[in-house]
Amino acid sequence: MVLDQDLVRHLSESSVSVELQTEDMTLNIGPQHPSTHGVLRLVARVDGERAFDVQPVIGYMHRGYEKLSEVRTYPQITTLVNRIDWVAGYANEVPFIVAAEKLLGIEVPERAQFIRLILTEMARISSHLIFMASYPLELGAATPLFFALRERERVLDLLEGVTGGRFHPNFNRIGGVKPAYGSGSSTRKVIQDLPAGFLAETRDAMDKVMEAVDELELLVADNEIILARTKGIGILPPEVAAAYGVSGPNIRASGVKFDLRKVEDYLPYHLFDFEIPVGENGDCWDRWHVRLLEIRQSVRIVQQAIDGIPSGPLQAKVPKVIKVPQGETYVRAENPKGEMGYYLVSNGNQGPYRLKIRSASFSNISILPWILEGVLVPDIIAIMGSLDFVLGDVDR
């Protein structure tokens, strides 16, 4: 029997498809979760393993910084502001103090600026080392955690030697860095300059940090499993990143060469020679690699700064009770997480009238609904981890 041509064509074109009736599941990732860097809640509608609608819910850690700042004085706010991005404590203070100094119109002495720069770069190294520790942990590798934190201890010990605090240094004062304890005329003025041995210890610690970064790169960078988990995952095109206000290493990994350290003048970065690492594809691996390279550049800056610290006073001449004149200003800085800005409105009092904090992580995670569209559940974790946000920074 000869098969009818039409029948044959019909049979070859038709297909049997059985549509399984599936329901999607609403999976609540967080607020208490090992990988959300704090109390972030993602309400994800997943179909099997594929998430197709992820909405972040934030605000679980809102502490009311901007309201608190309305009833505090400048030194008190300096203390509070450390705690926004607690991983890089020092870097949060600097733009705030620079904003107040801009309104006052005073000039910070050179030595104070160098010390600020060294401590800010140490804060950056510290923050990126935390990222190096926690990101492979989210992907499943437990060992880089210990290697990175071991090196971070060296940096924190240096910070503690100078400022007295590991995470919350509270070392900036309007006009410079903290000059001394004791403010009376006959007090014994414990000068808070760099302690003896700081330069040698810093050189030693920076060498060890470079070795550890090499070791981490050997352990993680070429690992086939890491490449399979992070290459091509979470690609962030530069236009989308710029549209959402993503900043910091996230946008540099997408290929945009934008670093506020080269643009703004809140600290004397123009005196030092460093490069800006830029990524190619904008995927998770690039974001990881850019931060690794940034640690190396920060170490370079610290080594150059250590070799050339000028001597001089630690704080400019400021009155005992500082009242910032009326005015408003916006200062932005390159925080390790991205661009952090302080919009300071003053009306002549001892404290600001209004302080608006533009935090880096808040804008960074605004991209989550866009970038998590249609990815698998394990990739949600990989992408979230690579954005490197901290909930204190998101919620303030």
Partner 1 sequence: MDFLTSLFSNFWVSLTGKLLLVALMIPLIGMVIGYAEMKLSAKMQARVGPYFAGGRWGWAQLIADGVKFFQKEDLIPDEADRPVFKIAPVLVLVSTVAILVIIPFGPGLIFRDLEVGIFFALAISSLSTVGVLMAGWSSGNKYSLMGGLRAAGQLIAYELPLVLAVIGSVMLAGTMSMSGIVEAQISAGYPYVVLQFIGFGIFMIAALAELSRIPFDMPIAESELVMGYLTEYSGFRFLFFFLAEFANMFSLSAIAVTLFLGGYWLPGIPEDVLAYAGPVILLAKTFLLVFTMIWFRWTFPRFREDQLQSLAWKWLIPLALANIILTGAFKVYL
Partner 2 sequence: MTTTTPTKRRVFPGMGMVKGLWVTIYTMFRTIFRPGKYLATINYPKVKETPVPRARGVIALDQEACTVCMLCARNCPDWCIYIEGHKEEQAPSTPGGRVKVRATLDRFDIDYALCMYCGICVEVCPFDALFWSPEYEYSETHMGEMLHDMDRLQGWLETVPPDPELEK
Contacts to partner 2 by CB under 8 A = 72-73, 75-77, 79-80, 143, 146-147, 150, 153, 157, 160-165, 168, 170, 178, 181-185, 187-188, 190-199, 215, 218-227, 231, 253, 257, 275-280, 285-286, 289-290, 293
# residues contacting partner 1 (CB under 8 A): 30
Residue 363 Cβ vs partner 1, minimum distance, rounded to whole Å: 25
Q: How far apart are CA 353 and CA 327, in angstroms?
A: 10
How far from the centroid of its chain's Cα atoms is residue 240's Cα? 20
Residue 203 Cβ vs partner 1, minimum distance, rounded to whole Å: 22
Which amino acid, residue 211?
Answer: E
Out of 55, 143, 187, 326, which residue is the one contacting partner 1 (CB under 8 A)?
143
The two beta strands, 327-335 and 338-346, are: antiparallel
Q: How far apart are CA 122 and CA 240, in angstroms?
A: 31
Q: Between residues 10 and 257, which has the closer beta carbon with respect to partner 2?
A: 257
Query: What secondary structure letter does DSSP report for 219?
Result: I
Q: Is 35 in the site for partner 1 (CB under 8 A)?
A: yes
Query: What secondary structure letter does DSSP report for 376?
Result: E
Phi/psi of residue 280, each to 5°? -105, -50
Show the binding pattern over residues 173-212: x = contacts partner 1 (CB under 8 A), - = does not: ----------------------------------------
Q: Is 225 in the site for partner 1 (CB under 8 A)?
A: yes
**From partner 2, partner 1, none, interface partner of 265 (C-beta below 5 to 8 A by class):** none
**From partner 1, partner 2, none, interface partner of 62 (C-beta below 5 to 8 A by class):** none
Tell me which residue of 159, 170, 165, 160 sits closest to 77, measured CA to CA.
Answer: 170
Helical packing angle, 377-387 and 110-139, nearest 10°: 170
Q: Is 33 in the site for partner 1 (CB under 8 A)?
A: yes
Residue keyed to tokens 């925080």: 335
**From partner 2, partner 1, none, interface partner of 238 (C-beta below 5 to 8 A by class):** none
Q: Is 363 within 8 Å of 247 (Cβ atoms)?
A: yes
How far from the centroid of its chain's Cα atoms is residue 309's Cα? 26
Residue 101 Cβ vs partner 2, minimum distance, rounded to whole Å: 19
**From partner 1, partner 2, none, interface partner of 4 (C-beta below 5 to 8 A by class):** none
Q: Is 150 in the site for partner 1 (CB under 8 A)?
A: yes
**From partner 2, partner 1, none, interface partner of 379 (C-beta below 5 to 8 A by class):** partner 1
How far from the centroid of its chain's Cα atoms is residue 168's Cα? 15
Q: Is 322 within 8 Å of 176 (Cβ atoms)?
A: no
Q: Between residues 103 and 139, which has the closer beta carbon with respect to partner 1?
A: 139
Out of 136, 248, 279, 341, which residue is the one contacting partner 1 (CB under 8 A)?
136
Question: Six-digit token pair at 348?
Answer: 């002549």
Q: Which stretch, 31-39, 78-86, 247-255, 261-269, contacts partner 1 (CB under 8 A)?
A: 31-39
Phi/psi-derived region of residue 374, left when phi > 0, alpha when psi is between -120 and 50, beta in every other case: left
Residue 53 Cβ vs partner 1, minimum distance, rounded to whole Å: 16
Q: Between residues 138 and 294, which has the closer beta carbon with respect to partner 1?
A: 138
Q: How far apart are CA 325 and CA 39, in angstroms?
A: 38
**From partner 2, partner 1, none, interface partner of 140 (C-beta below 5 to 8 A by class):** partner 1
Q: Is 142 in the site for partner 1 (CB under 8 A)?
A: yes
Tell me which residue of 60, 23, 74, 13 sits closest to 45, measured CA to CA.
Answer: 23
Query: Quick one: CA dihedral 133, 135, 136, 140, positive or negative?
Result: positive
**From partner 1, partner 2, none, interface partner of 76 (C-beta below 5 to 8 A by class):** partner 2
Vertex 363, ends 262 and 90: CA angle to 5°?
A: 55
Question: Six-digit token pair at 356?
Answer: 């608006």
Q: Is 226 in the site for partner 1 (CB under 8 A)?
A: yes
How far from the centroid of its chain's Cα atoms is residue 376's Cα? 26
Residue 103 Cβ vs partner 2, minimum distance, rounded to whole Å: 21
Q: Which residues bind partner 1 (CB under 8 A)?
A: 25, 27-28, 33-35, 49, 136-143, 145-147, 150, 219, 223, 225-226, 228-229, 376-379, 381
